[in-house]
Amino acid sequence: MAQGRGLMGRRRTQRTDDTLRQLLLREHRRLFGPTGRWHIPGPVSDYAQALVAGEPIVIDSGTLMCALLHAGLPSDDYAFGGRYWGKQWHLDVDGTLSEWAEH
């Protein structure tokens, strides 16, 4: 396996901790929770369940940008025209954030 390349088309780009997972969950609840603009009563989404359970997830740059933006963190690289715009990301159980590339 080439250095810097992971399994299933993932390329390691940076390491995070559980903070990113918490930011993503907070953003999801802001939009889809009981007081959120897009709330639909019923079962909790698979996405929210995976975040809470610490399972690996794939997210897009727009979702990542919104979570960072609303947390007051730098997000321009993930916004339209940014160097990571339009990419997908894999957040692993250990907090590793990798660029996701389907083969």
- Write out pLDDT tens, residues 41-90: 877 788 888 998 999 999 999 999 999 999 999 999 999 999 999 999 99
Q: Please report, for residues 10, 13, 71, 93, the alpha-carbon distance to residue 66 in angstroms, rounded to integers and kept in the order given.
A: 22, 19, 8, 21
Residue 94 — very low, low, confident or very high, per pLDDT cuts 50/70/90?
confident
The dihedrals phi and psi of 43, each to the nearest 5 degrees, come to -65, 155
Instruction: State the pairing for strand pair 10-15/96-100.
Output: antiparallel
